[in-house]
Amino acid sequence: MREPLREIARGIGFTEGPVWLGGGRIAVTSTSRGEIVTLMLDATPDTAVESRVETGGGPNGIARFPDGRLAVLQNATFRSRSTRPVVSGIQLIADGRVTAVDIPDSAAPNDGAFDRNGALWYTDPGRDDARHLGPRTRRWDPASGEVSTVADDVAFPNGIAFSPAGDELYLADSHGHRIVRYSVHGDALASPTTFADIPGTEPDGIAFDRAGNLYIAAFGSDEVVVLDPSGAVTQRIPTGEGSRPTNLCFAGESLETLVVTLASGGRVVALDDAFEGLEL
């Protein structure tokens, strides 16, 4: 029988975007408070918070550079309690300092993942009719500054992850209740295919383990859904009625702990169950 969820933190706002930092720490976004919160993975809820960095707006997903910097997908549309001026796009955090990246034609960036060449692929499900912007998946090359739209064929692109081999890109289509898969060809994508239909889930954040199993934060059904490499459901891990899981990542020095952010109660929980995860 699986061990119960271990609570790491609570009461930190609408939580999203967990990422493993190393050294026993994870970072999450507090979208409703306009903050990035660093937590100690093995602490109690009363002692977990190590630091907070104010980003303003509505920080959503986080992706970690190899050098330790964080890229924050900033939707800027969430009414957080922060008064820091902010625009939609990408923010970088290094040594506690926040800088903005000029990302043209941003609406509401949501979640992102780095490829093996250091480019950040991210979802932007926002709409801006005045600028003729709709839901898109985009690619930002930090080295050149180039930004391109690589797909616009998903109703609400949300969570995003590369396959263990790095040759396929997976998206959670929240409105379509499905996972979409693309073959990656350099800086472009082939036409999408539906990897799995999972009715009623409203899939949000996603992450792979080393065996190619895909873990999905199922916001609509209050669970983590696990798909095997063929797209079949192999596990459903309940997170509690009304918990509303938003995202997940693997953490710990061997990436053996599954960390899940829950919107209800501003909670972050963990399963210490000898997983074999992939770093986001």
Predicted confidence (pLDDT) per residue in 210-230, tens digit: 999 999 999 999 999 999 999
Burial status of residue 73 (CB atoms within 10 A of its CB: 0-12, 13-18, 19 or more): buried
Report residue 96 CA to chain centroid gap.
20
State residue 264 phi and psi, 5-degree precision: -70, 120
CB atoms within 10 A of CB 210: 12
| Number of continuous H segments (helices) and E segments (strands) in the chain | 0, 25
Asked if 19 and 70 touch (Cβ cutoff 8 Å), the reply is yes
Asked if 125 and 77 touch (Cβ cutoff 8 Å), the reply is no
Q: Which residue has the tokens 């109690």?
A: 44
Cα–Cα nearest to 247, from 208, 276, 216: 216
Q: What does the pLDDT read at residue 262?
A: 97
What is the per-residue burial (b if ≥16 Cβ within 10 Å, else e) of 4-28? ebbebbbebbbbbbbbbbeeebbbb
Q: What distances in angstroms separate CA 232 from CA 57, 65, 82, 157, 228, one per listed residue?
A: 38, 32, 42, 21, 6
Confidence grade of residue 183 (pLDDT, cut at 50, 70, 90)? very high
Q: Does the structure show a pLDDT above 50 at 169?
A: yes
Q: Does the structure show a pLDDT above 60 at 148?
A: yes
Rounded to an integer, the average pLDDT of 178-183 is: 97
Q: What does the pLDDT read at residue 3?
A: 63
Q: What does the pLDDT read at residue 133?
A: 77
The residues near 138 (Cβ < 8 Å, ≥ 6 apart) are 109, 121, 122, 123, 124, 147, 148, 149, 150
CATH 3.90.76.10 is right for the domain spanning 6-272: no
Q: What does the pLDDT read at residue 62?
A: 97
pTM > 0.75: yes
How does pLDDT run across 240-269, given as a tens digit for each residue? 999 999 999 999 999 999 999 999 999 999
Q: What percent of the chain has pLDDT over 90?
A: 82
The residues near 185 (Cβ < 8 Å, ≥ 6 apart) are none
Q: What does the pLDDT read at residue 79?
A: 65
Q: Does the structure show a pLDDT above 80 at 274?
A: no
Domain ranges of the chain: 6-272
Chain mean pLDDT for the chain = 92
Q: What does the pLDDT read at residue 1?
A: 45
